[in-house]
Amino acid sequence: MLHINRLRLCLALSITLLILGFFPLYSGLFLTMAVTMILIYIAAAEMWSFLAGHLGVISLGQQTFIGLGMYTTAILNEIYKWPLLASIIFSGFTGAIAAAFISLSFLRLRGFYFSLATILAAEILLNFFRNWTFAGAATGMRLSVGYEIPISIIYYGACILSIMSILTIYCIHKSKLGFAIRAIGCDEEAASEIGVNTFICKACCFIISGFITALAGSIFTVQTMFVHPQSGFGFEWGIALVFISVVGGLGSIMGPIIGSVIYVGLRSILSGYVGLSLLLQGALCITILTIAPQGVWGTILKHAKSRKIPFK
Amino acid sequence: MLEVDQINVAYGDLQILFDVSINVRRRELVTLLGPNGAGKTTLIKTIMGLLRPKSGSIFFLGEKLDNLSTAEIVKLGIAIVPEGRGLFPLMTVKENLLMGAYASREARAKIRDSLDNVYNLFPRLKERENQLAGTLSGGEQQMLAIGRALMSRPKLLILDEPSLGLAPKLVVSMLATVEKIKRDSGLTILLVEQNVRAALQIADRGYVIENGRIVLEGTAEDMLKEEYVKKAYMGGLK
Amino acid sequence: MALNEKTLTDREKLTMDWLIILSLSLRALLFGGFLGLAACGLSLGFQLGFINAAHGDMAVLSAYMSWALLAMFGIDPFISLILVLPIMFLIGLVIQKFLLNRFLLKGEVDAALIVTFALGMTIRNLLQILFSADMRSLAQPYMIKGLHIGFLVIPFSYLIDFISALTMFIILHFFFTKTFAGRALRAVPQNWEAAMMLGIKPEISYLYAMGIMALTQAIFGVLMGLTYTFNPNSGPTYLLLPFGVVMLAGLGSLKKTFIGGLIMGEILILCGYFIGSQYQLITLYIITLIIILFKPEGLFTRRS
């Protein structure tokens, strides 16, 4: 992390929080919703970026958790009439359980088998929910509670989630787990030789990411008021997270923030030409990977201070 | 033919070779001796282009090897019998041999002749032509590895610890074969070995490397008489 | 009289059921050999240590190329392969040489994976812009006509698929056993250091692998297009199905991949019959997951 003056960091953070806090009171509906989306993406992308950048765990199927979060919230709240907050929290746990299953089963395999397994999981769930009439099958479900909740509340929810996500990463870094992760990042074999259980480390982080990503899906569905197999388990989320993390800067905290802004910004500017914006995403991703693999934030840092972002 | 000139080689920050210089002249059998971890394999890997020296140069037939890729170095006429044989276990004996001729067009053109030569030298390989290399015994695998290296019709043959894992009787016959190869075809050979006595008996000249530095060099006869060599290796290792 | 009628109808029904299953099984075998072809490229990549996440999208791209040729010039899809094959081959080589090799040669497999992922996404979106998201098909009337053997009906499209796949398998077999390049590709996964010391260049190996991948996927894509339907989002399916075959068959043997394809084909089509076509894919995916969990080296390999 950048070694800025502590005082200046606190000041910057406080100002940011103030702005975030008062934002919805003064801005229009559209902008608030856009920023809410940015915050949701930040929450999910921070986790993805952390996994991929520091642990070399590349999950191309994060949409599994988004979709699970979405559907759990929808089913619990809409069908079983659970209170919304409880549904959301429970969705987080659904994501964590799924993440536990996936990580414990497949992390012991070679890297790319794991990545493919994550895609597989997402596709299985996609097909499953597409056929599950209880949850609306291919047409999806409506989340009527969404109508009653003001946009600003959802906004604050997203705020809290993204702050939670960043704080979690920060706490992991400071903890013993973070030490283990840094060891793995430097040299995985050496790390396991000194007693670090790389498997458990990766699994733990993956489970945490599953929890938060599912929560992101929950809040997303409250905002859109709609669940649909394609929007939950479709590839778009997986692609979005990859784009955000790669373009913003893998492994850093600022990276996904910048990346999310770019992502949502790009989509809004080119909203008339949907195909074009998607095309640009792919092209931009590839360009950044080839020319500036540390992403936007990484390039900024390179000019400020030399730093290597681990990318095995 | 091969000139290694004051090279320094390191793995990252860990330096393995310090100002190492060796020389192999045409038609010579030079042996490189030293204990485990002395840097012998590192030196070989550097010659083959798998590692780059921090400083110093390597010349082969006048060509500088520093910036050449492994494939280009092999094409110049260096063949290696790697430590541990380096065979392709799921390919047959014949396929392994054929792969030896991969590098040069000349080797591929004369592949039939080369194959016959190798089979004459190692009749056992002919018997096991279609057997998977991984199922051969240690001695047979060593024969196959040497035969494969010969398939490229090299100018310089490097053997990296060929006696490793072989029963003593096999070591004797294998090194005798190596000497035979040298006599019959006039091939230049660099033999890296831990088995000091056996190596010096067939070599013309030798070097001793310890802790990444050349500590001794001379003709094989002189080295056999050398007290230092006698004490350190004859009694101790083998 | 009434009792006789009833049993006759039942027996007839049973025979018909069995005939349907038999004809489906035969179709499945034909399809499976074809599926095995798609698995070849993926398997090669795995052995050399990289995954092409755009594997399926390359097949879809080929299908659309063929479709464009059909729509614009009326060229029969099977004939269009003459054009599509070399174009896809070139595209594959260009991607490998300029995009992927720079990561793979430095050992950055993760970066390569993400690049292929982004590439797949780009291809998908490009196709969507150019051709819209509608389902397309390359089917021609003569392909739906079938070969009648007794009571069994085999559509021509399946026959073409199988024969093409078998031909490709035979060509690949010769490539891997009789040519230096092919043998080199087999050698590298067995001992890459020794391979390098024999003069085998990793860049060239990767190029060959990608070339084969592009060719097999082109054939698979076009033929898949005329046997079934496709749209820009079919890519992941064309990645995950061959992945299942690779996991089932294990790496390293053309024969095993072929047989793996046959088995997967059987499961896929018989599933469709017994459980319903909407559960075909999900069953295969779950089976793949189970194989990864319990026998990742493949069902035909003894654990070493």
CATH number of the domain to which B65 belongs: 3.40.50.300
Residue A305: predicted pLDDT: 60
Structure tokens at A45: 């992308």
Cα–Cα distances in Å, from B86 out to B48, B161, B162, C190, C194? 14, 12, 11, 9, 5
Question: Which strands form B156-160's sheet, in the order they lie side by side?
Answer: B78-81, B156-160, B188-193, B29-33, B205-210, B213-219
Q: Give φ, ψ of A136 to 5 degrees.
A: 95, 0
Check: CB of residue C36 under 8 Å from CB of residue C102. no
In angstroms, the separation between the Cα of residue A6 and the nearest Cα of chain C is 34
Q: Is B227 exposed, middle or buried (0-12, 13-18, 19+ CB in 10 A)?
A: exposed
Cβ of B112: how many Cβ atoms within 10 Å? 8
Structure tokens at A273: 């030409």
Q: Which residue has the higher pLDDT, C85 or A20?
A: C85
| Domain-embedded: residue B144 | no
At residue C130, what is the residue type?
L
| Domain-embedded: residue B217 | yes
Q: In chain A, what is the straight-line distance between the N-terminal and C-terminal CA atoms, in Å?
A: 19
What gap in Å lies between CA A210 and CA B68, rounded to an integer? 48
Cβ of B9: how many Cβ atoms within 10 Å? 21
Query: Which residues from C are below 8 Å from A when comparing CB atoms?
Result: 46, 50-51, 53, 99, 102, 108-111, 113-115, 117-119, 121-123, 125-126, 128-129, 233, 236-237, 239-240, 243, 278-279, 281-282, 285-286, 288-289, 292-293, 296
What gap in Å lies between CA B95 and CA C183, rounded to an integer? 8
Note whether B14 contacts C: Cβ–Cβ < 8 A.
no
DSSP B87: -
Cα–Cα distances in Å, from C231 out to B119, C135, C161, C241? 57, 5, 19, 16
Locate the chain A residue with the closest alpha carbon to C237. Answer: A123
Q: Give the best residue of A62, A105, A110, A120 to mutate against chain C (max C CB count within 10 A).
A: A120
DSSP B213: E
Domain ranges of chain C: 29-134+151-232
Residue A90: predicted pLDDT: 92
pLDDT category, A214, cuts 50, 70, 90?
A: very high
Locate the chain B residue with the closest alpha carbon to C188. Answer: B88
A-chain residues within 8 Å CB-CB of C51? 112, 115-116
Residue C245: predicted pLDDT: 92
Note whether A16 contacts C: Cβ–Cβ < 8 A.
no
Q: Which residue has the higher pLDDT, B205 or A145?
A: B205
Q: Which residues pair with B158 in a beta bridge?
A: B80, B190
Closest CA to A59 of A210, A186, A260: A210
Mean pLDDT of C57-64: 93
C-chain residues within 8 Å CB-CB of A105? 292-293
Domain ranges of chain A: 31-237
Note whether A131 contacts C: Cβ–Cβ < 8 A.
yes
**87-116 of B, contacting C, C-beta below 8 A:** 87-91, 95, 98-100, 102-104, 108
pLDDT digits (tens, 9 = 90+) for C183-215: 999 998 888 888 988 988 888 989 999 999 999
Cβ of C93: how many Cβ atoms within 10 Å? 16
- Of B50, B99, B148, which is closest to C196 when you measure between CB atoms? B50
Note whether A279 contacts C: Cβ–Cβ < 8 A.
yes
In angstroms, the separation between the Cα of residue A244 and the nearest Cα of chain C is 12
Structure tokens at A71: 């559907």
DSSP B132: B
What gap in Å lies between CA B80 and CA B48, rounded to an integer? 8
Mean pLDDT of A273-296: 81
Q: Which residue has the higher pLDDT, C49 or B154?
A: B154
| Domain-embedded: residue B171 | no
Note whether A241 contacts C: Cβ–Cβ < 8 A.
no
The answer to whether the Cβ–Cβ distance between B86 and C194 falls below 8 Å is yes
DSSP C276: -
Q: Is B18 exposed, middle or buried (0-12, 13-18, 19+ CB in 10 A)?
A: middle
Tens of each residue's pLDDT in chain B, 238 residues: 888 888 888 887 888 888 888 889 888 899 998 888 788 888 998 998 888 888 888 999 888 888 888 888 988 889 999 888 889 998 999 999 999 999 888 888 889 988 998 998 888 888 888 989 989 888 899 999 999 999 998 999 999 988 888 888 888 888 888 888 888 888 899 999 888 888 888 888 888 888 888 888 888 888 777 765 666 555 544 4
| Domain-embedded: residue B86 | no
Q: Which residue has the tokens 């559209």?
A: A30
Q: Domain containing B227: what range?
A: 1-76+194-238
What gap in Å lies between CA C132 and CA C67, rounded to an integer? 13
Closest CA to B192 of B52, B34, B61, B75: B34
Check: CB of residue C67 under 8 Å from CB of residue C53. no
Residue B37: predicted pLDDT: 79
Residue A206 pLDDT greater than 90, yes or no: yes
Residue C1: predicted pLDDT: 38
This prediction's pTM: 0.84
Mean pLDDT of A82-101: 90
At residue C167, what is the residue type?
T
pLDDT digits (tens, 9 = 90+) for A285-299: 888 888 887 788 877
- Of A56, A123, A275, which is closest to C128 when you measure between CB atoms? A275
Mean pLDDT of A167-187: 81
Residue A34 pLDDT greater than 80, yes or no: yes
Write down the mean pLDDT value for chain C: 85
In angstroms, the separation between the Cα of residue B148 and the nearest Cα of chain C is 9
Q: Which residue has the higher pLDDT, A149 or C5?
A: A149
Helix (H, G, I), strand (E, B) or coil at B21: strand
In angstroms, the separation between the Cα of residue C252 and the nearest Cα of chain B is 9
Closest CA to C55 of C37, C30, C77: C37
| Rg of chain B over all Cα atoms, to the nearest angstrom | 17
**Among A40-54, B175-189, B216-230, C267-281, whose mean pLDDT is lowest?**
B216-230
What gap in Å lies between CA B87 and CA C197, rounded to an integer? 11
Mean pLDDT of A35-57: 89
Note whether B147 contacts C: Cβ–Cβ < 8 A.
no
Q: Do chains A and B touch (3 or more CB pairs under 8 A)?
A: no
In angstroms, the separation between the Cα of residue C112 and the nearest Cα of chain A is 9
Cα–Cα distances in Å, from C50 out to A282, B131, C55, C245? 20, 30, 11, 17
Q: Do chains A and C touch (3 or more CB pairs under 8 A)?
A: yes
- Of C184, C186, C191, which is closest to B102 when you measure between CB atoms? C184
